[in-house]
Structure formats: C-alpha cells, structure tokens
Structure 1
Amino acid sequence: MTIDVQARRTGHTREVVITAETKPCCDTDCCGGTTEETTTTPEEAGAVKALVRAKYGALAASGEAGCGCGSACCGDEVSMVGEAYDDVEGYVAEADLRLGCGLPTKLAAIRPGDTVLDLGSGAGLDAFIARTLVGAGGEVLGVDMTPEMVARARQNAAKLGYENVRFVEGDIEALPLEDGRVDVVISNCVLNLVPDKRRAFAEMFRVLRPGGHFTVSDIVVRGGLPGAVRRSAELYAGCVAGAVEETTYLDWLREAGFEEVRVLEEKVIPVPDEVILEYVDADELAAYRRRGGAIVSVTVYGRKP
C-alpha cells in the first residue's frame, strides 16, 4: 500500500491530506511512524497517527496481509516471526495480517483468570491466543485506534463465539480504561509507531494493577541508525519507522515506573549490505557495522511494583 501525505495551509489553518492506495508497499513511509528520536509537536503526532490509521484501515478493509513486520516491501521475504504461530493454540488465520514482529503471548506468563490488554490489537490475533490462556474465567481487552480494525476483530470474535474478548477503539497514549484494570499488557510491533512512547508507557503503567506486568514485542535499533540506512531498512524490511535506540526504549520504560525491565527474546533483522549500499557509501556502511549497528525485534518484560 502506498500512502501519500500532503500538508497545505490556508490562512491560519494547516490541513493534512492523506491518500491511501492498497498495492505493494514500496515507499519510504511504508509503515508510518516517526523516523527520529526527537520530540514531535501535537500537529506532527496527529499527522503520524492519521498516516498509520489510513494504512491499517486499508489493510483491514482489503483483508490482505500487510507488508509491515512480516515481509519485505519490495523484494525477498523478510520474516520476523517465521513459523512461530503455526502450532500456537488459539491461532486464527483470519486474524493474522502478518503485521507482528514477535510472539509476546509465548513469554507473557498469562494465567487462567487474568485480564489481558492487547495494545494495537488489529484483527485480534494475539488477543485470541491470550483468550485460550485466560480461559472462560478471564478477560481479554483489545484497543486499536483504527475503526476498520476494531470492526474486523469484533467480527472474528463473534465467529469464534467469545463473550469475554472485547475490542474498543482508542488511543494508546490515552487508554479508555480505568486505573489498575488489567493484570497483563501485551503488544506486537505497535509501540514503535506511537509518536509519544513515554506517554504510552505511562498509560501501560496506569492501567496495570500493582504486581501486574507487560510483555511486548517491538522493533528497536542499536548503534545509531543514520537516515539513509533507516530508509533502506524501511524499504527492505518495513516497520522500522519510529523505532528508537534499544537503551532509550528500556530507559523510558523504567522512567514510567516499571521494575525488572529486561529483554526476554531478540532477533536481529538482517538488512544485506547491498541494500544499504544503495543509500550510503562503503565507508559509511563500515562505520555503521563497527558501531554494532542493527535493527532488532525484541520482546521486553517489565513489572509494576
């Protein structure tokens, strides 16, 4: 899918115009999100959210799998999850849009009777897997800011006959839940697309009960990611936009109040030298590699005291 974003100003009003076309995703803004670790203005954050909403709304409406975290935008397939879902109890093929970068439910220590919150729940894949873990006595809540995704997830839940799985439209930076509502928070390749990650982490902390925890899969970078390298990675693997340095990501979680923050699982996303060399020269590539530069899918854990 190609997303075109244009801004125009009339008098004192700035209008952001977004055009989405569902087709192979071969543009540098394939996966939306911000590309630097800088603070965004409310106007910029709104444009990012509109971009992401348009992209995922089109995916939900088309019913096609995305080019996001599951495959390359233009070229050989880049699998971040591989066969991980194949034998997972609760897997629902109709809910799998191949947008994830991990399997957070595998490491989330979800127990029967838990209340689980899935951030950026999409068509419901991870929420349905969580439902098999909490059982009939638990509850699973999914929050997504894209109306089309929420509608599709609700349709899938209705087909499955689940009465304790509920999907609501909402913003991860302002969750429509009361304090201390859930036992476990999960998310799969979504938080990297959120403009204000600090605010999102604070909301995760707020809605968790004392002693609750999160297990999220996401994309981070290591060793710095020059703009040209980031652009090549976005084209090749997708879902790199908005990713921040791993140390920054973990520090922000600790600043939100979480304890025992640690990476449970990681997978380096390989971007071949020949792809990067289309954007930088050999010396720049060598310097990036010497710094240990990498794009990494991580599954991170943290606990609310």
Structure 2
Amino acid sequence: MNQGQAGHANFLLPLLRPGMRVLAVGCVLPGHRGDIGLTTSLSTATHPLHVVGLDTDVEGLRQARRASELAAVSTIDFAASDPTALAVRSESVDVVYAHGLLDRVREPRRVLAEFARVLRPGGLLALSTPDWSRTRVKPRTANVDAALRGWTMLRRREGGDPAAGKHVEDWVRFAGFRDIRSRARFHAGTDYRQLARTIESELAEALSDSGDYMDPQLASAARSAWMWVRGGQGEVSQCWVETVAVR
C-alpha cells in the first residue's frame, strides 16, 4: 500500500558510516516485488557499505536480485531467511533495518530479540513501523471507516497488527535496547482509490478462502470497500513510527 519506499529510510541514512554491514530484514514488501529503491538507498548512502536484504519471499528475492543486477548495484546481496531465526552469526552486523515488518509478523518481540542477537554491542537498530490507527484519510466517509475496520480485523486475525507503530517503542525496550528515539512521521503518496482497491481485494480474497462460511463483518466491510473504490478522489497520509535504538 506504499509508494516512494526509498524515502522511508531517510531517518537512517545520516547514521550510516563507511565499512558498516547492514541487514535490511523484510526487504520484499507485499505488492512491491522487484522494487529495490529502499534497499538501494541504504547501499548508496555511503561507500563502502555492504547491505544484505533478507526475506522469506523467495520469488520476491529473485526479482530483487535481478533488479539490482540491472541497476549495477554491487553492494547489495539478497538471501532467504526467517526474521525469527536469521541465518546470520551473533554480534556480526552493525545495523539492522526493518521497514513495514513488525506489523506483519506474529511475534514482534521474538523478531526484535533476534535483531539484538545479530547486532554487535553498540550496533544500531532502525525501524519504520506503520500505525494505521493514526493514518489520515480524507474524505473519511462511513464506507471508508467500515472498510478500514474490517481490514484491520482481518490483519489481526492473520497474526499482524496494523497499529504496531503504537507499541514498537515498548517492544524495543523489552528486547534490551537502549538510547531509544522514536517519532511519528506522516508520508503522503499512497493513492486514495488504490488503497481502497487493495483493501477490497484482500477482503474479497479472505471471503473466498473461507469457503461456505460467510463472515458477516468481513462481507459488510468488503461491500464498503467496493463503494469506496467507486467514490471520488481523496488523500491518504500514512503514519509511520521511526525508531532508532542502540544494542
């Protein structure tokens, strides 16, 4: 649901130094296979810098690797790895960066504990985490509200938390990090009607997968999303919580 991904890493770029090894965990975002803009912005921030993009989406990683080859970016590698069990040695990296990951995983605290394991002492954690409860959608009609409520319920049933940004600072502190700095930033760029189409599609897919049972809440939300798609234009300003902490 996000456009202009590269700009989301801007808060981290001034903290990068030559020679650092950076992990970009969850580098393949849903709906953005082959888009390596965000990972490239890390790898080109300073020189030399080695960035490794990790994800569980093998096909997405293949497309990202091909895109980096076409762009002649030689400072990025990609590898398949689960965020709860990173295929990385303990205390071996300088920076762990994750954009739009903690809202999509079932066990964010376990993921953060794994980040702490692979970071060297004094290493940096940088997170960009959405908080959909604070996202601004205009106009916010009754159909928009109903569709967003249904989509949020669906995401939580699937094990994620669309409002993860609201809790991320507490999770990071629980994982043992220090010098935690966190702030909310609003990013424009998500298309109003495209957001509606994405929500409509995800709700419709969930209803289709449910077989004979038709969840009335999801069905009502899907109808509201259908109406939203066919409404007028609007604006979306998505809330992202940017967090930096020290291992």
TM-score after normalising by structure 1: 0.52
Structure 2, gaps ≥5 residues long: 29-33, 135-143, 197-219, 222-236
Q: Deviations over 1:116-173 (max 9, x none)?
A: 11011123322211111242x3211000100111101111222233333110011111
Aligned to 2:114: 203
Match of 2:42 among 117, 130, 153: 130
**Are 1:302 and 2:245 counterparts?**
yes
Aligned to 1:33: none
Match of 2:162 among 236, 239, 243: 243
Aligned to 2:138: none
Aligned to 1:151: 62
Match of 1:170 among 70, 81, 84: 81
Aligned to 1:189: 100
RMSD: 3.4
Structure 1 contact 119–142 (Cα < 8 Å) conserved: yes
Q: Deviations over 1:104-126 (max 9, x none)?
A: 24434111221111011123322
Aligned to 1:220: 131
Kindly tell me: are residues 210 and 295 of structure 1, through their superposed partners in 2, closer, same or farther at Cα, counting changes over 3 Å?
same
Kindly tell me: are residues 231 and 249 of structure 1, through their superposed partners in 2, closer, same or farther at Cα, counting changes over 3 Å?
farther
Secondary structure of 2:103 counterpart = helix
Structure 2 contact 127–244 (Cα < 8 Å) conserved: yes
Secondary structure of 2:87 counterpart = coil
Q: 1:215 is aligned with what amino acid? A: A
Q: Deviations over 1:201-238 (max 9, x none)?
A: 11111111111112221112559xxxx968525759x9
TM-score after normalising by structure 2: 0.63
Task: Quote the Cα distance in structure 1 between the aligned partners of 2:146 and 2:120.
Answer: 37
Kindly tell me: are residues 222 and 160 of structure 1, through their superposed partners in 2, closer, same or farther at Cα, counting changes over 3 Å?
closer
**Are 1:116 and 2:22 counterparts?**
yes
Task: Quote the Cα distance in structure 1 between the aligned partners of 2:99 and 2:162.
Answer: 13
Task: Quote the Cα distance in structure 1 between the aligned partners of 2:23 and 2:169.
Answer: 20
Q: 1:112 is aligned with what amino acid? A: P
Task: Quote the Cα distance in structure 2 between the aligned partners of 1:210 and 1:222.
Answer: 34
Structure 1, gaps ≥5 residues long: 1-67, 71-80, 86-101, 280-293
Taking only the aligned residue pairs, the percentage that are identical comes to 24
Q: 2:9 is aligned with what amino acid? A: P
Task: Quote the Cα distance in structure 2 between the aligned partners of 1:181 and 1:134.
Answer: 20
Match of 1:232 among 140, 145, 148: 148
Aligned to 1:255: 174
Task: Quote the Cα distance in structure 2 between the aligned partners of 1:221 and 1:180.
Answer: 33
Structure 2 contact 130–164 (Cα < 8 Å) conserved: no
Kindly tell me: are residues 296 and 265 of structure 1, through their superposed partners in 2, closer, same or farther at Cα, counting changes over 3 Å?
closer
Task: Quote the Cα distance in structure 1 between the aligned partners of 2:121 and 2:96.
Answer: 13
Structure 2 contact 129–165 (Cα < 8 Å) conserved: no
Kindly tell me: are residues 254 and 129 of structure 1, through their superposed partners in 2, closer, same or farther at Cα, counting changes over 3 Å?
same
Kindly tell me: are residues 247 and 235 of structure 1, through their superposed partners in 2, closer, same or farther at Cα, counting changes over 3 Å?
closer
Kindly tell me: are residues 141 and 222 of structure 1, through their superposed partners in 2, closer, same or farther at Cα, counting changes over 3 Å?
same
Q: Bigger relative contact order, structure 1 or 2, given CA contacts below 8 A and separation 6+?
A: 2
May I ask how many residue pairs the two structures share in their alignment? 184
Superposed, 1:263-302 pairs within 5 Å as: 263-267=182-186, 296-302=239-245
Match of 2:8 among 103, 108, 114: 103
Superposed, 1:31-46 pairs within 5 Å as: none
